[in-house]
Structure 1
Amino acid sequence: MDEEIVRNYDKVIQPKFLAILRSIKGLSWASFILDKEGDQYKLEITTKDPSNPKWVEANAALEKAFLDSTNRKLRVDVAKSKTFEEMRFVVPRSPQPYDANSKNPFGLYSLGRSIGVEQLDYPGTLGGFITVTTEGNSRVYGLTNNHVVNIGKTTNTQPPDPTHVETGNAIYCPNYHDLEATKIQLKNTKLQNYKIAQLRAASGRSLTMPPGAAYPCIIDWALLDLNSQTLKGMLFEIPKLKANFQLPRTPQEKEAQPFPAQVTYDPNVHLVPGMVVFKWGRTTGVTSGEVKIVRSMMNIADVETWKGTIHNPQRYTEVAELVVGPRRGVPFCDSGDSGSLVVDEHGNVVGLLWARAEDDVIVTDIRVVFESIREKMGWGSNDVFSVTPNLK
């Protein structure tokens, strides 16, 4: 995609598309994103009613707006709204790796572990561990998604109030759902999962405005207070973390470009268009994807049909989300991978995964996540975040 088009998209082209879609009465849309297929630019629009005759008018106006702005032709593709998933339904049980000879048989301190709330059937992914240093004191927390662990223990659903947090929810690894599958696979009914943490804080279902952005994005994070036994175990297991994130590559690929041994955080490195990224999740393990060139514009009213009511005091009508597409024909994630950390090919954590729609995956810039956590927890600008625990 031409650099000039990418540079002007957020401030010039996208607002024109949005104005056209808003102006045509009787026309509803769920999302749109600009892409390029060979030499052809295309605008992919999703809607509940792709057969609405008003799309003829809209398509002509969108094509003209793009031609006037870029001197390039545009093809508009209108399709049925995609089905989003974010762990609102029970997913297939997944037996978890188990080493009976280890003091840490379920690999509790590895990236991408299965986690969940007590006895509930909502497995998700423990993305990893972050260290927050305030006034010289360091504390390690677990990081995952709000919708994975902010669940009512009696309702088995997310709170109706988008700002409510079920503080103190006990978090187990692996999730009860997956523990039962492991028992069946290993024919061992005595296996137990481990209570590793309690829910400390969460974003709820809310919005935030990324620095320099014209539109907000949805944030979906949860911070876990690790219990003393978990922290004690980490003293011995954390040094092994650097070997836990290895990509399935051929010997030739490993020799040409070995994956970094350490996952780190650098606030100067962030998600950019075209970036190749990786994640390790509970369901699909390690996969790679590619960040799409522009953000996906999404209608908040449509998002709320599958995510639930969003805390939106400013009454925004759209959100702009970073999207990761599949690479080499392999899906980037599946149900149960919610909460996975996303890293670049150098091992820098750049995002937090929280939803998917078919092959497209929504990822939030990790800097936006950390800033939201900082604000929620009342931490200052001098407090330091890292993803390499330092317990000394």
Structure 2
Amino acid sequence: MDPAIVSDYDKIIQPKFLAILRSIKGLAWTSFILDNESHQYKLDITTQDPSNSKWAEASTALQKAFLDLTHRKLRVNVVKSKTFEEMRFVVPRSPQPYDASSKNPFALYSLGRSIGVEQLDYPGTLGGIITVTTGDKSRVYGLTNNHVVNIGKTTNTQPRDPTHVETGNVIYCPNYHDLEATKIQLKNTKLKNYKIAQLRAASGRSLIMPARATYPCIVDWALLQLNSQTLNNMLDEIPKLKANFQLHRTPQEKEARPFPAQITYDPNVHLVNGMTVFKWGRTTGITSGEVKMVRSMMNIDSVETWKGKIHNPQRYTEVAELVVGPRRGVPFCDSGDSGSLVVDERGHVVGLLWARADDDVIVTDIRVVFESIREKMEWGPNAVVSFTPNF
């Protein structure tokens, strides 16, 4: 994709598209994303009513606007709205393998490992472990999604309240689901999971307006207060880590580059179109994907049915979300991978994934996540955030 078009998209092209869609009465859309396929620019629009005759008018106006702004032709593709789902609720009935004979449980609760809340059958992923330094003090936290570990008014049979935050929930590894499945698979009833942390703070599924941004993003994060056993094991294990340590990858990914040996955070590195990215998740392990256009517009009014009641104090009607598509035909993630970090080929953390739209994965820019965390925790702009090595 032309770098000039990418750089102009947020400030020039996207607002123009929005103005056109708003100007045509009788149209209701869910999302749109600009992409480049075989040297042809296309705008994929999802809607509940793709047969509406007014889409022909909209397509003509969008094509003309794109031609005027870029001197390039545009193909408009209007399709039925995608199905969005958080990747926690329809979980495959297979355990995440782990070394059940290990005397040191630290390997069980490292990056990409299964975590969850006691007795709930909803496993998710521990994305990573971050260190926050304020002044001369440092604290270590686990990072995942809010909806993975925050049961707030939720049971296996009762509706969720995604805006609710209930701190103090005990976090286990592996998740109850994976523990029970592993007991059956290994025929070992003595296996147990470990209390690794408590829920320290969470976003409560809210909207945040990033600095210098035009549209807000949905944030879904949770910080885990690691307990003393976890921290002690970390101090023992970190010096022993091997730089090129790898977990088993799926057969389809064996030809792909391995997950980076070390992960870091650099606020100057972020998702860009065409970037190859990796994630390490509880269900599908290490997979790679390709960043599509870095902003997909979603109309809040159309997605509240699958979001529940979103905390939206600023009353925006659109949300900008990042999209990662499959690479080599291999899905980037599956149920239970919620909370995984998304990193580039050099190991820079660029996003936190939390939902799926058909084959595409919805990712929140990690800078937005950290901005929300700083505000929630009242750390201030001088707090330094870093990541521990992979485990």
Q: TM-score range by the shorter chain?
A: over 0.9
AA of the residue aligned to 1:37: E
**C-alpha contact (below 8 Å) 2:250/2:286 kept by paired residues:** no
SS of the residue 2:108 aligns to: coil
Offset from partner CA, 1:196-230 (integer Å, 9 cap, x none): 11100000111112232211111110000111111
Query: Which runs of no fewer than 5 residues in structure 2 stay unpaired?
Result: none
2:133 aligns to what? 133
Distance 1:43 1:185 in 2: 47
Matches within 5 A, 1:48-197: 48-87=48-87, 89-105=89-105, 107-152=107-152, 155-156=155-156, 160=161, 162=163, 164-197=164-197
2:224 aligns to what? 224
Offset from partner CA, 1:69-115 (integer Å, 9 cap, x none): 22222111111111111146241233122223322358224211111
The size of the alignment, in residue pairs, is 385
CA drift at 1:4: 2.1
Matches within 5 A, 1:200-239: 200-239=200-239
2:21 aligns to what? 21
Distance 2:349 2:159 in 1: 27
Distance 2:306 2:145 in 1: 16
Normalised TM-score (structure 1): 0.92
Over 3 Å counting, the alpha-carbon distance change for 1:339 and 1:52 in structure 2 is: same
Offset from partner CA, 1:293-327 (integer Å, 9 cap, x none): 33101111122211211111111000111111111
2:342 aligns to what? 342
SS of the residue 2:138 aligns to: strand
CA drift at 1:161: 6.7
Offset from partner CA, 1:161-183 (integer Å, 9 cap, x none): 72x31111111111111111111
Q: Structure 1 stretch 89-98 or stretch 345-354: which is displaced more?
A: 89-98
Over 3 Å counting, the alpha-carbon distance change for 1:288 and 1:257 in structure 2 is: closer
1:361 aligns to what? 361
Distance 1:244 1:356 in 2: 29
Query: Which runs of no fewer than 5 residues in structure 1 stay unpaired?
Result: none
SS of the residue 1:107 aligns to: helix
**C-alpha contact (below 8 Å) 1:294/1:322 kept by paired residues:** yes
Distance 2:274 2:93 in 1: 34
1:351 aligns to what? 351
2:266 aligns to what? 266
**C-alpha contact (below 8 Å) 1:96/1:106 kept by paired residues:** no
CA drift at 1:371: 1.6
Normalised TM-score (structure 2): 0.92
Offset from partner CA, 1:35-69 (integer Å, 9 cap, x none): 11112111101111111222122112211221222
AA of the residue aligned to 1:327: R
Distance 2:118 2:361 in 1: 27
**C-alpha contact (below 8 Å) 2:152/2:165 kept by paired residues:** no
Matches within 5 A, 1:186-335: 186-239=186-239, 240=241, 242-245=243-246, 248=249, 260-335=260-335
SS of the residue 1:119 aligns to: coil
Over 3 Å counting, the alpha-carbon distance change for 1:87 and 1:334 in structure 2 is: closer
Q: Structure 1 stretch 236-245 or stretch 220-229: which is displaced more?
A: 236-245
SS of the residue 2:9 aligns to: helix
SS of the residue 1:108 aligns to: helix
Distance 1:261 1:36 in 2: 31
Distance 1:316 1:102 in 2: 50
2:5 aligns to what? 5
**C-alpha contact (below 8 Å) 2:106/2:233 kept by paired residues:** no
**C-alpha contact (below 8 Å) 2:148/2:338 kept by paired residues:** yes
Distance 1:21 1:97 in 2: 49
Distance 1:244 1:370 in 2: 27
Question: What's the RMSD between the two structures over aligned residues?
Answer: 2.3
Distance 2:172 2:46 in 1: 38
Q: Structure 1 stretch 97-106 or stretch 378-387: which is displaced more?
A: 97-106
**C-alpha contact (below 8 Å) 1:87/1:336 kept by paired residues:** yes
Distance 2:129 2:159 in 1: 24
**C-alpha contact (below 8 Å) 1:148/1:339 kept by paired residues:** yes
Distance 2:62 2:354 in 1: 30
Moved over 4 A (4+): 156-159, 241-250, 256-259
SS of the residue 1:89 aligns to: coil
Over 3 Å counting, the alpha-carbon distance change for 1:192 and 1:357 in structure 2 is: same
**C-alpha contact (below 8 Å) 1:151/1:158 kept by paired residues:** no
SS of the residue 2:104 aligns to: coil
**C-alpha contact (below 8 Å) 1:127/1:339 kept by paired residues:** yes
